[in-house]
Each structure stands twice: as C-alpha cells, then as structure tokens.
Structure 1
Amino acid sequence: MTKLLLSLHVIAAIVAVGPVTVAASMFPPSARQALAEPGSERAVSNVRLLHRICRVYAGVGIAVPVFGFATAAAMGVLLDPWLLVSIALTVAAAIVLVVLVLPRQEELLDALGKAEAGGTASSGPGAGTATFPDRTATLPDRTATLPDRRTTARLAMYTGVFNLLWATVTVLMIVRPGSTTGA
C-alpha cells in the first residue's frame, strides 16, 4: 500500500505542480508581450490560458499533500524533521501562490481586459476616459493606465520564490535527511 500511495503522491506532484510552475513562470513574459501589444488578441488569450492553467492545477495540487500525508502515515515518518520542514515549505509555497501569484495575475488580466475594451489611457487630454461600444465611462487614472514592467518583474519574483520552495521540497523528498534508505 505504501508503494501505491507514494506513486500517487509523486504522480500528483508531477501532474499538478509541474504545470503550475511552468505556466506561472511563462505568465510574466507573456503578460509583458500582451501589454506591449495592446491590440493583440492572441497575446491576451495566451495570458488568459496561462492563468487558467495556474488556477486549475493549483486546485488539483491539493491532491499532492493529501497523498503525501497518507504516504507519510503509512511509512511512519509523520514526525520526522525533514517531513515537517517539507510540510512547512509546502504551506509557504501554497501561500505564495494563493496570496501573491494568482491575485497579481488576475490584476494583470483585468488591466489587459480594460485595454482590450478600450480602457487604456495615455497622459494628456482624455486621460482616464474609456470608450466602450455602447457608452463612455470615466475611470480613475490608476485603473486606466497599464501596469509597468515593475509589476510583471515583481510577479516573476513571486513566481520564482514559489518555484524555489517547490524545488526545495522536491529535494527534501528525495534526499530525506536521516533516512535509512541510503538515498
């Protein structure tokens, strides 16, 4: 049973966490491209797809700790220090993803959506005015301007922290300090 649980845990990690790390890493440069090409529907749809992958697979990723706890219980290692550190790092990675990465991706998508709807504004006359197909609305200047490169750079940094936390958990799972398996 332990081998089955461990296999499910590893498969869940590959299938769920892998796509999130890749899509989240691809998001900032794709968002920069979409921001640089405001009229490009393809660039915006790429960013939307990457965000959807992050959201969906983050939800699927809940299977990883579920199978992980079941495996650890079956192996009798629930209180081993390497596992406790791995659990803490996994919680930290989840917090980074849910609190820092996904909301900032959504903010960038909102900004791109406003740009697509004609909601971008440049400095000068008419700044803050968005033209929509049926009406004209005045938007506050902070929502009418597109994010700058610092916004996507900050998102890339948070994504890097998320990926580094997962890489550390992976190494701990393989090396398992104090393990008697010789690995």
Structure 2
Amino acid sequence: MTKFLLSIHVLAAIVAIGPVTVASSMFPSAVRRAVGEHGTERDVAVLRTLHRICRVYAGVGVVVPVFGFATASSLGVLGDTWLTVSIVLTAMAAGVLGLLVLPRQQRILAAIPHPGPDERAPSRLAMHTGLFNLLWAAVTVLMIVRPGSTTGA
C-alpha cells in the first residue's frame, strides 16, 4: 500500500504542480507581450489560458499533500524533521500561489483592456512566481534527500 500511495503522491505532484510552475512562469513575459506595442487579442487569450491552467491545477494540487500525508503515515515518518520542513514549505508555496500569484494574475487580466499605472506588476508577479517555484524546488529536494530519514534512502 505504501508504494501505491507514494506513486500517487509523486504522479499527482508531477501532473498538478508541474503545469502550475510552468504556466505561472510564462505569465509575466506573456503580459509584456500582450500589453506591448504589438500585443494582439491572441496574446490576451494566451494570458487567460495560462491563468486558467494555474487556477485549475492549483485546485487539483490539493491531492499532493493529501497523498503525501497518507504516504508519510504509512512510512511512519510523520514526526521527522525533513517532513515537517517540507510541510511548512508546501504551506508557504500554497500561500504564495493563493495569496500573491493567482490574485495578481487576475488583477493584471482585469486591467488588460485599460492598462493601469502599475507597470511593475509583471516584475512583481515574476518575483512571486520565482519564490513559488523555489519553494517547490526545495520541497522536491527534501522529498528526495530526506535528511535524517531512517527509511533507507
């Protein structure tokens, strides 16, 4: 059962978190193209699609920690420090995505027909997206390396 849970956890991370990291990373440069001198309606449609990918897969991504907890429980590592740090980093990544990245994407999309005074919004969004991606990279490393783990890795 542990191998099944771990497999679902890893597959969910790849399928759910991967698209969010890619789409959110593409969004700031797509904004610059869409609001640039040669921006087209297609560029705006790309932005809407990238935002939708981020929103939908962020929702799907909830299964990652659910199966993560189930896997950790079956492995008996719920109290391990590496897992606690991973949980905190995962919560931080979810917070950055839900409180900073997705709302800023939404505000930028709402302002596209009438560009607002905040020309630095794509740069700030890129910074928050980079933080989100960095947090997920740290979680991934912790899941692979598992410092102090006694599970044989």
Whether the 8 Å contact between 1:8 and 1:67 is mirrored in structure 2 is yes
In the alignment, which of 149, 158, 169 is matched to residue 139 of structure 2?
Answer: 169
1:140-167 deviation per Cα after TM superposition (whole angstroms, max 9, x unaligned): xxxx63541x110000000000000000
Shift of 1:178: 1.0
The reply to whether residue 42 of structure 1 matches residue 12 of structure 2 is no
Q: Tell me what 1:92 maps to.
A: 92
Aligned length in residues: 153
Whichever residue aligns with residue 30 of structure 1, its letter is A
Task: Please list every run of 5 or more consecutive structure 1 residues that lacks an aligned counterpart in the other structure.
Answer: 121-143
- Bigger RCO of structures 1 and 2 (CA < 8 A, at least 6 apart): 2
Q: TM-score, structure 1 length as denominator?
A: 0.80
Residue pairs, 1:100-139, within 5 angstroms = 100-112=100-112, 115=113, 120=114
Whether the 8 Å contact between 1:111 and 1:147 is mirrored in structure 2 is no
Q: TM-score, structure 2 length as denominator?
A: 0.96
Shift of 1:180: 3.2
Q: Tell me what 1:24 maps to.
A: 24
Whether the 8 Å contact between 1:108 and 1:147 is mirrored in structure 2 is no
RMSD: 1.3
Whether the 8 Å contact between 1:111 and 1:146 is mirrored in structure 2 is no
Task: Please list every run of 5 or more consecutive structure 2 residues that lacks an aligned counterpart in the other structure.
Answer: none
